[in-house]
Amino acid sequence: MKRNNLVLPVTQAWVILTFIFCISQARAQEGNPAGTDFNTWFISKTLRVDYLLAGDSRSEVAYFVQMKEEPNWGGPHKNLTDPFGYGTYRYSAYDSATKKLLFSRGFSTLFQEWKGTAEAKKIKRSWPMTAVMPFPKNTIRFVIEKRSYETNEFELLFDRFINPSDYFISREAIHPVRFTKIKDSGDPQNHVDVAFLAEGYTSMEMDKFRADAKRLCDYFMSVEPYAGNSGYFNFYAIESPSDESGVTIPGKDIFVNTNIHSSFYTFDMDRYLTTSDTKSVYDIAANVPYDIIFVLVNSKRYGGGGFYNHYGEGTVDHQLSNIVAIHEFGHEFAGLADEYYTSEITYSDYYNLKFEPWEPNVTTNVKFESKWKSLVAGKTPIPTPREDQFKGVTGMFEGGGYLSKGIYSPMMDCRMKSNEAPGFCPACREAIRKMIMFYSEK
């Protein structure tokens, strides 16, 4: 192709355009007011974007799959952009004409954990993912970013323009599933809306599911800081039936046909309960206005899993099911980190100790003042020894986030560390409280 002085090579032009867009993004974020008027930019439905995260230990790419319009938006109308900076990833929507940041959410995923496994050093795999946001009135630029392990800065992973009138946005009716509202505190737009999904319950076991959902709801609302803020919560029990009762346990040669295909032995860890079929999870959840999706698994086995702003799940019939469920809910809802440091894990290199972790309840002491330092009494030594005299004291105790050295947690024991803890530590309670207020501000 003939060139002249007015035509740039495609790659050079793309670099320049990307640079310009990044600058405009930064300015848009700096100038974006705390609140974006919902009715100016959105209608109260959901735009859902399904995509894949794929790669191996050294590479990562996002592949677009589909877009859907869904009938309910359960998220806040007041707080649309994420003030927390949590998550290993985030997705955002910018108005294409003004570059104004309209919506953003941080999130985490099973894929990021898999990248640290031995398997990821040998093969490439993909995990289905879903982003949800209020349905835009005008064309947006949809962006997915990944936090760099080397720099701790977000880097562009995927972007595309989305025209809300695009006929490739599926508007097919959702598959209706019966649901019960087991706790009704008010308007979804200023309450935390929790959708409990039935997994491994047959159609003949829905009485049990509703009872399990009510029990979990009551337990959650009995534990601080949820108890003192129970009036900000709505709970739904979505009666999604499975063909068979129970759950798949590959390590025991048990395979069960359930509606979202949950399975123990994630990463060959017997207690780790997850699903890769997040498309089915979100298809079912679309029956109600939701902020948080939590899957109740009809099993007596110990286990669960949870991912910030993605989904969580836990079993219902083990003696510790309530405690495990509220722990996993802490991951999913408030972005809380695991505070244990001696338990078995099958992935590595989760934290770069040169940077402050994004989770609110662990620190590398790089920027401790941005965490729970204000909750530590002046006489408490920093770091704080793990000695009996400091039991029940808020400090900075070495050990947390799967590591025994270089990372610190707020208390010697906490619901995010062990099943024996009496509840959440003060730092976790404060992080949960802030998240409740974020979803509930009028």
Interval 108-124: pLDDT, tens: 999 999 999 999 999 99
Same domain for 207 and 105, yes or no, is: no
Confidence bin at 344 (pLDDT 50/70/90): low
Strands 179-183 and 192-199: unpaired
Mean pLDDT of the chain: 92
Domain of 63: which CATH number? 2.60.40.3250
Mean pLDDT, range 77-81, rounded to an integer: 96
Beta carbons within 10 angstroms of residue 22's beta carbon: 11
Side by side, the strands of the sheet bearing 169-170 are: 125-136, 42-55, 60-70, 169-170
Mean pLDDT, range 324-342, rounded to an integer: 96
Q: Is residue 344 one of the residues assigned to a domain?
A: no
Which tens digits make up the pLDDT trace of 224-255?
999 999 999 999 999 999 999 999 999 999 99
Query: Which residues, 6 or more positions from 54, have their beta carbon under 8 angstroms from its beta carbon?
Result: 60, 61, 62, 63, 124, 125, 126, 127
Confidence bin at 349 (pLDDT 50/70/90): low
Burial annotation 151-172 (CB, 10 A radius, 16+ → b, else e): eeebeebbbeebebeeeebeee
Same domain for 313 and 283, yes or no, is: yes
Residue 17 has pLDDT above 60, yes or no: no
Confidence bin at 342 (pLDDT 50/70/90): confident
Q: Is residue 440 one of the residues assigned to a domain?
A: no
Q: Is residue 251 one of the residues assigned to a domain?
A: yes
Are 337 and 358 in contact, with CB atoms under 8 Å apart? no
pTM of the complete model beyond 0.75: yes
Q: Is residue 219 one of the residues assigned to a domain?
A: yes
Same domain for 135 and 273, yes or no, is: no
Mean pLDDT, range 280-294, rounded to an integer: 98
Mean pLDDT, range 56-77, rounded to an integer: 97
Same domain for 193 and 325, yes or no, is: yes
Q: Is residue 92 one of the residues assigned to a domain?
A: yes
Q: Is residue 13 one of the residues assigned to a domain?
A: no
Strands 192-199 and 292-297: parallel
DSSP letter assigned to residue 117: S
Residue 5 has pLDDT above 60, yes or no: no
Residue 210, classed as helix, strand or coil, is: helix
The one-letter amino acid code at 312 reads G
Same domain for 131 and 276, yes or no, is: no
Which tens digits make up the pLDDT trace of 308-320?
999 999 999 999 9
Q: Give the pLDDT confidence score for residue 8 in this predicted structure.
A: 36
> Which among 148, 170, 192 is the end of a domain?
170
DSSP 3-state percent helix, strand, coil across the chain (nearest 5): 25, 30, 45
Same domain for 111 and 217, yes or no, is: no
Same domain for 107 and 196, yes or no, is: no
Residue 400's nearest CA partner among 344, 349, 362, 358 is: 362
Domain of 195: which CATH number? 3.40.390.10
Mean pLDDT, range 411-415, rounded to an integer: 97
Mean pLDDT, range 75-88, rounded to an integer: 96
Domain range holding 290? 179-335
Q: Is residue 273 one of the residues assigned to a domain?
A: yes
Q: Name the CA radius of gyration of the chain, rounded.
A: 22
Q: Is residue 2 one of the residues assigned to a domain?
A: no
Residue 274 has pLDDT above 70, yes or no: yes
Residue 277 has pLDDT above 70, yes or no: yes
Q: Give the pLDDT confidence score for residue 343 in this predicted structure.
A: 66
Residue 7 has pLDDT above 80, yes or no: no
> Which among 335, 367, 389 is the end of a domain?
335
Same domain for 103 and 220, yes or no, is: no
Residue 10 has pLDDT above 60, yes or no: no
Confidence bin at 341 (pLDDT 50/70/90): confident
> Which among 286, 317, 335 is the end of a domain?
335
Residue 19 has pLDDT above 60, yes or no: no
Same domain for 156 and 191, yes or no, is: no
- How far, in Å, CA of 174 to CA of 329, rounded? 26
Output phi, psi for 412, to 5 deg: -65, -30
Same domain for 189 and 331, yes or no, is: yes
Q: Which two tokens stand for residue 120?
A: 């990821």
Total structural domains in the chain?
2
Which tens digits make up the pLDDT trace of 143-189?
999 999 999 999 999 999 999 999 999 999 999 999 999 999 999 99
Same domain for 157 and 197, yes or no, is: no
Which tens digits make up the pLDDT trace of 259-272?
999 999 999 999 99
Residue 271's nearest CA partner among 312, 246, 301, 294 is: 301
Same domain for 147 and 191, yes or no, is: no
